[in-house]
Amino acid sequence: MTELAPTDLPLPLLARGKVRELYEVDDEHLLLVASDRLSAYDVVLPTAVPDKGAVLTGMSVWWFEQLADLVPHHLVTASVAEFPSSLAPFAEQLRGRSMLCTRLDMVPVECVARGYLTGSGLADYRQTGGICGEPLPSGLVDGSRLPQPVFTPATKAAVGDHDENVSYDAVVATVGAELAAELRRTTLAVYERGAALAADRGILLADTKLELGLDRAGVLTLGDEVLTPDSSRFWPADTWQPGRAQPSYDKQYVRDWLDRSGWDRTAPGPELPDAVVAQTRERYVDAYERLTGRSFADYLANA
């Protein structure tokens, strides 16, 4: 199932992102295809991670089910047997890694919630004493649990550009006060539900990024992926220790290797060694199985 090259389907291609391709199915539906490509520091790396696209899709499908009472989602079906008949010849290529979705008018804001201090949030804190203009207590370190989850929005960057943290006031200026408040409320509700379910399985949800949009009725709806190792940081609860980088079930493992490699974070990225690829795949699959309580092999067999 390893795949790095773009898919080529008999549908209009609307967008090709770092990891996904988005195809037009009809006036109301889109096909979202997750590749095995891996991005880090906003650069698509030249090495694929086997089954990564299927893990992202399978986890999103499971989380959409868990969050449906909090916020609607765009998923129609992830079963290739229920896709349009024109896609039948591509069933094996699409199996497990694609979703038929409802069209949304996407909000031009990266909706991020953080429960722990790390990554760009840590860098912001060290410079300003807070994140996105939200003040935080002094003395926090890498991996510290925040007093309460915070909404830390960012701009949406094009492929190759970097997302930038912005203030809540900037979100209000972009989308208006009413929608900004709904984005914050929904993002924090999803984070808190995700963190609680993950904690039950011995996993800390450090932070997560959501894509939200409006359906044709104007209802705020979850789009893209949700609570996956690409959009979130997952840490084993039993090894959590503030003051250092945490072991993780996400692509932080790759970021750490890249940092040690001497790469300057500009394209093109370096090839990943086989051992790093294997360890990364293992972390993604482990995250899927721990969180969902389901077998990844069974998911692939039934997709």
Provide the CATH number for the domain around residue 179. Answer: 3.30.470.20
What residue numbers bound the domain in which 83 lies?
1-103
**Mean pLDDT for the stretch of residues 220-234:** 94
| Residue range 117-175, pLDDT digits in tens | 999 999 999 999 999 999 999 999 999 999 999 999 998 765 445 678 899 999 999 99
Nearest residue to 53 via CA among 101, 99, 96: 96
Give the pLDDT of residue 7. Answer: 67
Nearest residue to 76 via CA among 60, 56, 54: 60
Higher pLDDT, 42 or 56: 56
Cα-Cα-Cα-Cα dihedral of 207, 191, 221, 19, to 10°?
A: 30
In DSSP terms, 232 is beta-bridged to 208
Q: How confident is the model at residue 105 (pLDDT cuts 50, 70, 90)?
A: very high
58 and 31 both lie in a single domain: yes
Amino acid at 81: A
Helix, strand, or coil (residue 253)? helix
246 and 129 both lie in a single domain: yes
128 and 239 both lie in a single domain: yes
Q: How many domains does the chain have?
A: 2
73 and 119 both lie in a single domain: no
Q: Above 70 in pLDDT, residue 2?
A: no
129 and 96 both lie in a single domain: no
113 and 243 both lie in a single domain: yes
Cα 103 versus chain centre, distance = 19
Of 103, 124, 141, the domain-final residue: 103
Of 58, 74, 103, the domain-final residue: 103
| Tokens standing for residue 166 | 């912005």
Of 52, 77, 103, the domain-final residue: 103
Residue 267: inside a domain, yes or no? no
Give the pLDDT of residue 17. Answer: 85
